[in-house]
Structure formats: C-alpha cells, structure tokens
Structure 1
Amino acid sequence: MTPYGNIIFFIIIGILLMPTMILGLREKSAKGYNIFISIIVLALIFGNSLNGSISLILFTVFQLILIIAYQKYRLQQNSSFVFVIAVLLSVLPLGLVKILPILGLQHLFGFLGISYITFKSVQMILETRDGLMKDKISTVELAYFLLFFPTVSSGPIDRWRRFYKDMHSVPSSQDYQKLLLSGINYIFIGFLYKFILAYLIYNYALIFLPNHTYNYLTPFQGQIAYMYMYSFYLFFDFAGYSAFAVGVSRMMGIQTPINFNRPFSSRNIKDFWNRWHMSLSFWFRDYVYMRFVFWMTKKKWIQNKYAISYIGFFLLFFLMGIWHGLEWHFVVYGLYHALLIISFDKFERWNKKHKFWPKNKWTHAIGVFITFNTVCFGFYIFSGTLF
C-alpha cells in the first residue's frame, strides 16, 4: 500500500489513531500504542513485497547494530578512522541502490524510504561523534525513530533529540487539542495540494506538454509552459505529501518539522533553500557543508575562506543532485544550483560595498521574480526534458 496514496489509507490511519487521540485528550502517554500501530502500518506499506519486507528488516537491523556499536565505541574512544568507516558503512546500502542498477546488477536493499532512513542513521552517527549522544539509547525507540511511519517513505527528515523530546512528552489536554487541530489542518492542506491542485495540473496541462503541445503553442512555447507547469506540479505534489506526514505526526504527538514555507515567494536563491524541502536542505547544510568548511578551515589546506565555502557549496549540491539519481540531469541540476548560490553570494558581498541594490518593495518584487524563474528553470533541468 502506497503511503497517502488513496482514501483507504487515510481511513485505516484514522481508525488506528482513534485510541491515540483518546489517550492524548485524557493526558495519557500514547508512545507504546503508537509504536504498535507503526508496526501495523509498516506491514501494510511493505507487506505486498516479500523482497521489500526482507530488505527493510535486514537494512534496519544493520543500521541499528551499526549505530549502537558506534555509540558504545565512542564512549571509550574517538578514532577518526573508525568514525569514517561507520559513516561509509551506513551509506553503503544506499550507494549500492544508486550504483548497481546502472551496472545492470541487482541489489538487495531496494525499498521505499531507504534514503530517509539512511539520513537519520548517518545523523545519529555524526551526533554521537560530536558527543551529543551520551545517554544509552533504547533499541525499540531508535527503531521507532528510524521507521516512524508518517515520514518513512519521503520525509520530512526529523532530528533524534527533537523527536526523543516529543516522544517522551505528554502534552496537556489543551495542548494536545491544538496539536490535533493543527494535524487535521495539515491533512486538509495536503488533500488540497496533492489530490486537487497537483492532480489538475498533471491531468489537464502537464501530460499535454511538451511533446504534445496545444495547437496554439509553438514547440518553444510548449517547453516554457512545461517548465512552469512541472514546477507547480512538483511543489503541490511533494508539499501535499509532506503536509500529510506532518499532520499525521502531530496527531501522534510528534511535531515533525515542516518541509515547505512558501518557496515561490523567495527573494533570492539562499532564501529559496531556506524554504524548499527544508528538512533535506538543512540536513545537507549541517552535516555536509558545515562539516566540510570546519574540516578545511582546521586543516588550513586552503587559506581563502570564500574558496572553501564555494567548494563546500559544490560538494553540497552535487551530493543533493546525485541523491536523486546518477542520471546527467540530476548532476547538472545540483551543479546549476551551486552556481546560482555562489553567484548570489558574490553579488551580495559586492553589493554591500557598492550599495547598488537597495532594499525596498521594488527590489524585493524583482528579486522574487528572478528567483522564481531561475528556480523553475532548475526544475526544468531536474525533469530531464532538457536532455
């Protein structure tokens, strides 16, 4: 069963969550019950494929052993070599999933959501390395975090310490009512985005573009129309899914972070990446870019701090690109955004000196217009239609 794919899924979730809501309104902990229904929902999602079910179980056991073993090791020692090996082992299954099909080979760990579980696992290892995971972690709670069913297939990507706090908090009846109403509101937003707006854009515009353009559009105009329609479809479809995940999470007492915050109103490309797929962009920022910059600064292999920052941007967006896939359009999409954000950073530093671009409502509007169009062209690259 596909998560949030049809009304049957929502009916099942609604029935299963009724005891959760009753416990929440009565100021009782629902953690144990939520873990129980997570197993049920995961069985519904992955149960139709024996290979997928076995892959999920083996992969999860592998990640649990790796995280717990590294945590025990970190309490005694702190070798950089062991840390790197632990991270590489954690991402190895995901790497095989991406690389082996290109080589025409089969892989074992092929199931929905492997990327997002891997992000959580790597995060646990990195934060253990930083000394932020000193307390013993329950294996059951760690598995619950990795396999939290509302977000297991496509995020948003939560952080362990934030998730752990919510998991062990019992809100008052009034606070839970607010969470419940907020969750229901997000679910309705998800229905509007995914099942109405994304559906209409896809079925009444996108499928006719660009190869089968309307009679009154030239091929070039068809490509332009496709670029904008695909951008809106991508947003409403993914933002709708994310709204579902956030809504169901809040009904379970977990305040999963939102993924989108009006990204098409961004005033520049940096602002866009603070609004689009936020949990993913913040993950790469914190665990790839910031660590790379810190490491390069510490080693002093490059003296120019801007050069270090720009190399870090290329690394960050290159990895974000190939995370979607190893096809050329994903690689180019990542490098395109790296160039955009580096170019904007150069412009921003130049403007601080020369005061060419003042801050007012007109420059803000122009900035939104430019950002929107450059972002849409990026999604056009992402779609693979350009290649």
Structure 2
Amino acid sequence: MTPFEDFSFFIYLLIPIVPAVLLGILGVSGKVRAAWVLLSTLGMLLLIGRPLSVLYQIAGYLLFQWIIVRLYLSYRLSALGKNRAGVFYLVTFLAILPLVVVKINPSFIALGFWQTVIGFIGISYLTFRTAGIIIEIRDGLIKEVRLVDFISFVLFFPTIASGPIDRYRRFVTDLYKPLTRQDYGELAIQGMDYIFRGFLYKFIIAYLINKYWLEPLNHTFGFLPTLKYMYVYGFYLFFNFAGYSAFAIGVSYLMGIKTPINFDKPFMSKNIKDFWNRWHISLSFWFRDYIYMRFVLDSAKKKRFKNRYTASYVGYLFLFGIMGVWHGTQLQYVLYGLYHAGLMIGFDFLDRKNKTWKYWGTGPIWDLSAILVTFHFVMFGFLIFSGRLV
C-alpha cells in the first residue's frame, strides 16, 4: 500500500497517531516518544511493505546500509581514520549503488533475485538519508549513530515513500526533544492544518485538474492543446506532490517530529534561483549542500578552473544533470535537468551584468513581471519533464 494514496490508508494511520497524541497530551519524555516512533515505523512498514517480498527488500536494504554506516563511522573514529577521499568515495558509492542500479536499468529489478533486494518504493529518499549521514560523518559532525535511531530516521513512515528529506542530526534532536503539553499542542494544531491542506490539494484540487483538464488533453495534440497541457500538467504536479508532502509533514508533527517543509509558494518566485529555494525544498537543498557547494569549494581548492564563475556554472550542469538522471534516464528527464542548469547559468550571468547594464529595476511592477516570466519558464520545464515533447 502506497502512503497517502487512498482513504483506507488514513484509517490505518489512526493506530500510530492516536497513542502519539495521547503521549503528547500527557507530556511524556522524549525517550518514550522516540520508542513509540520506532514501534510505529516498524508497525506501519508491515502495512506499507505488502506483499512480503517488499519487506524483505526493505530489511535487506536497511541491513546493507547499516553495515556501511557502522564500518565507516568506526573507521573515522579509529586511529587509522584519516580523512581519505578514496575511502569516502568508496563508501558513498556502495551506499548509492542500489539506487544507481534501479535508475540506470529499472527492468533489472524485475528479474528474479533482484526483485526481492532492490527497487522498492522510497529507495531514493532512503538513499539520500543514508548518504547524508555518511557525508556528515566525514565532516566530523556525526560521532555516534545508534541502530534504533538509524531505523527511525531512515524508515520514518510518514516520509518513507516521497520525502521530505530530513537530516539525521535535526531528526534525532526532535526525536528526543522534551515537549510540554503546550509545545505538543501547538505542533499538533499545525500538523492537523497540514493534513487538511493535503486533502484539499491532493484529493480535491489535483483530482479535479486531472479528471476534467489533464485526462482530456492526454488524447489531443497540436500547438494549442500542448500549450494548455503545459499549464494544466504543471498545476497538477504541484497540487498532487504538495498534497502528499503536506500529509507527510502533518503526520510527522503529530508524531512529535517537525519534518522540514517541501514547498513555499513556488509560483510566486521572482527568478529561477528563488524557485529552487521554494520547490521541493528538502531535495533541492540536499543537492545544493552535498553536491553543488562541495563541487564548487573543491574546485576552488584545487584551482580546477581559472574563473570562479566557470566553476559555478559547471557545478550547475553537474548538479542539475544528476537531478535529472535521478528522476530517470529517459530523455525528458535529462533534458529537464540541462534546461534548469541553463536557466540557472543564464540568470546568474544576467544578474551580474544587471548591476552595470540595468536590464531591470525594482518595485512592484518589476516584481510582478519577474514572477510572470519565471512562472512561464518553470511551466515550460514541466512540459519537458512530462515527456510530451519527446
């Protein structure tokens, strides 16, 4: 059963949520709440992990990742644990290997043994969480990883399928943070607000868009139908995914975990950089922090490029190229990544030149114009992403 896809799932959600609310009202310690998060996560996996083969996949994957994390942490804390790049790259490669296999050749997992080992729902987001732990171990930010906390973090049931992507240290801090009745009450009210927003977005707005506009356009072609499809698909994508994210955040809040938000009025963005600070925030920030920034800093350290802007632009191509391939190896995803890399490079260039050439100014009219221009560029990107053009 896929989380938040049908109403029956919300009936099952009462099993972990009702006791969590009672514990919050009683003001129990963080350790008790952490224990219930772990039990709830394991219990919900029995539901989400049907059929049994999926549970085998998740258990095998978790064991594999736990061994990698423990071995690397032991190595870094040992007398031999120098910050060797080769060891770090090897460990990171092993951690993302199952995801790479799935993304490069999805049909591979349909063959026999591999179907029970890799290719279950949510593998991308689980991999990002594990890779984040490994990176922060290398940075010296994580000195201890307990198995129970690792399980709760990686498999946290509200976010297992499609995020948002949390960070280990932030998650564990929330997991054991003492909450008074008042603190929990405020968190629970916000959680219910997110859940109601999720119903509005996913089961009402996205449903109506899909039924009355998107589905009919799937069978009509030509310039005008494609133009309509571009906007309809973009809005459907937002409300469907934002609805799912709202559910995940709301349930997390009720469990006492303040999962980071994923969307912040993305269609009000004034430029493409602003858009990626508002759209799928947990993913875009993960890629920015762990891929783009590290590539740029490493390039500066090794003097890989003469011009720092060149390093930044190559970093954008690297970043969005990976992001595109992460969605899939089909042509539309590769083009989508390169398209956004081009937008980021183009905006950065014009933004720097604008200080001298004054292409645009400031004020409400300019802001509105910037929002409209950005909106149309973003929507065309969604049209590429949809695959309709290719």
Q: Same fold (TM over 0.5)?
A: yes
Q: Deviations over 1:67-116 (max 9, x none)?
A: 11101101121221111100000010000111233679734301000000
Q: For residue 255 of structure 2, what is the aligned residue in structure 1?
A: 252
Secondary structure at the residue paired with 1:287? helix
Q: 2:281 aligns with which of 264, 275, 278?
A: 278
Displacement of 1:34 in angstroms is 1.9
Structure-2 separation of matches of 1:140 and 1:335: 40
Structure-2 separation of matches of 1:232 and 1:71: 43
Structure-2 separation of matches of 1:5 and 1:357: 44
Identify the range of structure 1 (21-30 vs 199-208) with the bigger mean alpha-carbon deviation.
21-30
Q: For residue 216 of structure 1, what is the aligned residue in structure 2?
A: none
Q: 2:225 aligns with which of 222, 227, 249?
A: 222
Displacement of 1:20 in angstroms is 0.9
Structure-1 separation of matches of 2:290 and 2:177: 27
Q: For residue 205 of structure 2, what is the aligned residue in structure 1?
A: 197
Unaligned runs of at least 5 residues, structure 1: 214-218
Secondary structure at the residue paired with 1:275? coil
Displacement of 1:51 in angstroms is 2.7
Q: For residue 18 of structure 2, what is the aligned residue in structure 1?
A: 18
Q: For residue 51 of structure 1, what is the aligned residue in structure 2?
A: 53
Unaligned runs of at least 5 residues, structure 2: none
Question: What code does the residue aligned with 2:146 have?
Answer: S
Structure-2 separation of matches of 1:36 and 1:101: 32
Q: Deviations over 1:216-237 (max 9, x none)?
A: xxx2111000000000000000
Q: 1:61 aligns with which of 60, 63, 66?
A: 63
Q: For residue 120 of structure 2, what is the aligned residue in structure 1?
A: 111
Secondary structure at the residue paired with 2:106? coil
Task: Report sequence identity in percent.
Answer: 49
List aligned pairs for 1:1-387, cutoff 5 A: 1-29=1-29, 30-48=33-51, 50-76=52-78, 77=81, 78-101=83-106, 106=111, 107=114, 108-134=117-143, 136-212=144-220, 219-387=222-390
Displacement of 1:140 in angstroms is 1.1
Structure-1 separation of matches of 2:375 and 2:291: 26
Question: What code does the residue aligned with 2:88 have?
Answer: F
Identify the range of structure 1 (323-332 vs 296-305) with the bigger mean alpha-carbon deviation.
296-305
Secondary structure at the residue paired with 2:22? helix
Displacement of 1:40 in angstroms is 1.0
Residues 82 and 330 of structure 1: is their aligned pair in 2 closer, same or farther, counting only changes over 3 Å?
Answer: same
Structure-1 separation of matches of 2:322 and 2:200: 32
Scaled by the length of structure 2, what TM-score is found?
0.95
Identify the range of structure 1 (279-288 vs 7-16) with the bigger mean alpha-carbon deviation.
7-16
Contact 1:27 1:171 (8 Å CA) reproduced: yes
Structure-1 separation of matches of 2:303 and 2:387: 39
Question: What code does the residue aligned with 2:241 have?
Answer: F
* Structure 1 runs, 4 residues or longer, greater than 3 Å off: 101-108
Structure-2 separation of matches of 1:33 and 1:362: 52
Structure-2 separation of matches of 1:60 and 1:210: 39
Displacement of 1:301 in angstroms is 2.0
Displacement of 1:128 in angstroms is 0.4
Question: What code does the residue aligned with 2:123 have?
Answer: I
Q: Deviations over 1:332-378 (max 9, x none)?
A: 00000000010000010000122331111111111100100000000
Displacement of 1:210 in angstroms is 4.3
Question: What code does the residue aligned with 2:12 have?
Answer: I
Contact 2:102 2:109 (8 Å CA) reproduced: no
Aligned residues: 380
Question: What code does the residue aligned with 1:54 have?
Answer: Y
Secondary structure at the residue paired with 1:205? helix
Secondary structure at the residue paired with 1:261? coil
Structure-1 separation of matches of 2:107 and 2:304: 35
Question: What code does the residue aligned with 1:27 have?
Answer: G
Structure-1 separation of matches of 2:155 and 2:301: 36
Structure-1 separation of matches of 2:108 and 2:24: 50
Q: Deviations over 1:25-65 (max 9, x none)?
A: 111032112211111111100122x3322111111100011
